[in-house]
Amino acid sequence: MIRIRKPSIALLGVLLAASFGLASSADASSHGALIAETGRLKGKVQRDLVEADDLMSKGDWTKAADAYKAVMNKDTKNAAAFAGYGLALGKQFKLDAAEENFDKALQLDPTNANAHVGKALVLMNRLQSSSVTIRNQRDSMLKEAENQCRMALQKDPYSPEGHFQLAQSLREQGRLDEAVKEYQEAIKSDPKYSEAYAYLGMTKLAQNSLGEAEGNFKQAISFNSSNSTAHYGLGKTYLKMGQTDAAIKELNTALYQNPNSHPAHLAMGEAYQTQGNNNAAIKEYQKSISIKPENPDAYLHIADIRETRGDLELSISELRASLEQMPDNVAIHQRIGDESLTLEKLDDAIKEYNTCMNINPSDAGAAKGLTRAYYLKAAKESGGAFFVSNDFESAKRQIEKAIQLNPNDMELRLAMAKIRSMSGETVDLNSIGAPKTDGERVAYAEALLAQNRFKESQDQMNMVIGNAGDQKQAFSVADLALMIKDLDSADAAYRKGGTFAGGEERARRGQDLVKKAREGSRQDLTLATDLAKRKQLNSAVDKYHSAIYQNPRVPDARIGLADTLERLTPAAPKDLREAVVQIKAYMSLRPDLPPKEVEKLNKRIAKDEERAFKLEEKAKKG
């Protein structure tokens, strides 16, 4: 609420004395009587103004507006009344009328601090609009609100509402430390300023100072139990502390006091989702969206639930609908990309990740997703078609740019190494360094997988799976492993996820997907072998590629593909070089091979490399 500075007790005494005619005498002249009458009128106006201010301080905006209006009718040049009336209208979101009254107040009294504070209030309230025009002006409006508050504080340095609105504008600009100082200044000027305590708590919550935030919210409630912001903030704090039941209690209070609070509905959805009550959670998220459609977190939380249920197509549809409100929201585009990738809609995923990077070229998350999509596309396409396409060069350029903007991001450097390895370049992963986080370990495992270093890749994934401390982490690793076709790791991670309470069904569904991928690979391998026997070699190559794409760790598919590539006519250098890669992959997957078999395979590798070299030399001579 806006708090109005009240006159001193001494001034109130003078006003009351004037209103009761104590300044006049029975023997006064007619001129003296006129002065007394004027004093009584002014005293009445001032008393009415004080009563209006008191209503304003209690948050009774409608009655306060009526009281200020009554003062304005008696004194058409009372700047304080115009400013107060504007504040009462502004709190009711009658913003155009409020602004007119602030302008009138400043015409009557350019030094009126409350009028400047009120103009800041109008700007801050306008920012709650869903209007695209308003949202596009957000930065300039926040700066103007800040300027209005600073002008108010120049005229009244101890104005609690001036410090409060300044803090609000700073908080929205992300200048949290400065905002904290201004909230504290507001509280110094008015030690019972409930709203200042509430938003100080919100700022401390954003800084993850949960203990301080809890104390601020409780203090705000002690001064005003109807402060819905404080109850909402306390609920959010309890949610972060893991006290879900206490959070729901506070959020229920907040929603009873303010049923149209979109963040309170969002937080209630998070609380229900934490309890596993997903249907109730979705209802709360949808209520939040209905109040404020440009609300990305609500859509993303619904997407989390859809993903858990396996409803990815529905999730993508809902996320695409949200882009009508937020066409440039990177988080939404990236989530669509991630889910498209899971569904193996690789071109759709690439399109979404490219959109993210066009909006924000330094977006490391999008760059990593883009690399993964290109990696899968390269693995899926036969004959190295990806590496002679424009996509490969585009991928390299985009990732190189992202690395320049994020030079310390090891995962991005590993992503580039993965792409380069798949294109046939020799890449020394040791030069990139040893992974230190689970995210880096996953990226390192993918790069090792691209080099067909299966055991080392498995070791990295085993560490990540071992570190998964809850169901969400385990299934996240499992889903990623399934996406990149590391089926052994996916199976292990799903099994671990199933050991956590409530994870059994999710684990079964994931393991079923692993079995389906294994079976698909087995069927393609069987068909490829049959086609090769019937000398339908090109078709056999395609099926071998498909078998390997679905499960890269099948040694028979690797050696079968190598055999078939060596038999293709006319012989081509690219086919022979790929045969070499497949033979090496086979040897990596079969560390138990007897020495004679290893020697035989090494001779094949040397022969294929020599044949490829001679064919290239012959082509040069033309």
Residue 609 has pLDDT above 90, yes or no: yes
In whole angstroms, give the CA distance from residue 421 to residue 581: 11
Q: Which of 21-25, 355-359, 489-493 has the highest mean pLDDT?
A: 489-493
In whole angstroms, give the CA distance from residue 238 to residue 172: 23
- DSSP, collapsed to helix, strand or coil, labels residue 453 as coil
Question: For residues 434 and 450, is the Cβ–Cβ distance under 8 A?
Answer: no
| Cα 262 from chain centre | 16
Cβ contacts of residue 481 below 8 Å, gap of 6+?
Answer: 461, 487, 489, 490, 493
| Cα 375 from chain centre | 25
Residue 42 has pLDDT above 80, yes or no: no
Question: For residues 65 and 49, is the Cβ–Cβ distance under 8 A?
Answer: no
Question: For residues 196 and 230, is the Cβ–Cβ distance under 8 A?
Answer: no
Q: What integer pLDDT is reported at residue 15 of this predicted model?
A: 36
Judged by average pLDDT, the poorest of 6-15, 261-270, 606-615 is 6-15
- DSSP, collapsed to helix, strand or coil, labels residue 258 as coil
Region of 3 on the Ramachandran plot (φ > 0 left; ψ -120 to 50 alpha; else beta): beta
Question: What would the pLDDT profile of 570-580 be if each residue is shown by its tens digit?
Answer: 999 989 999 99
The Cβ of residue 98 has, within 10 Å, a number of other Cβ atoms equal to: 25
Q: What integer pLDDT is reported at residue 389 of this predicted model?
A: 59
In whole angstroms, give the CA distance from residue 249 to residue 236: 11
Structure confidence at residue 502 as a pLDDT band (50, 70, 90): confident
Q: Which two tokens stand for residue 614?
A: 């001679």
Mean pLDDT of the chain: 88
In whole angstroms, give the CA distance from residue 398 to residue 362: 10
Question: For residues 565 and 582, is the Cβ–Cβ distance under 8 A?
Answer: yes
Judged by average pLDDT, the poorest of 46-60, 65-79, 320-334, 348-362 is 46-60
Question: What would the pLDDT profile of 253-283 be if each residue is shown by its tens digit?
Answer: 999 999 999 999 999 999 999 998 999 999 9
> Which domains, ranges and CATH numbers included, belong to the chain?
194-258 (1.25.40.10), 262-327 (1.25.40.10), 554-621 (no CATH)
Q: Which two tokens stand for residue 378?
A: 């390269």
Judged by average pLDDT, the poorest of 231-235, 257-261, 416-420 is 416-420
Structure confidence at residue 194 as a pLDDT band (50, 70, 90): very high
Question: For residues 213 and 247, is the Cβ–Cβ distance under 8 A?
Answer: no
Q: What integer pLDDT is reported at residue 371 of this predicted model?
A: 84
Q: What integer pLDDT is reported at residue 300 of this predicted model?
A: 95
Using the CB atoms, write b or e for 498-521: b if 16+ within 10 Å.
bebeebeebbeebbebbeebbeeb
Q: What integer pLDDT is reported at residue 156 of this predicted model?
A: 92
Question: What would the pLDDT profile of 442-467 be if each residue is shown by its tens digit?
Answer: 999 988 988 889 999 999 999 999 99
In whole angstroms, give the CA distance from residue 604 to residue 567: 13
| Cα 457 from chain centre | 30
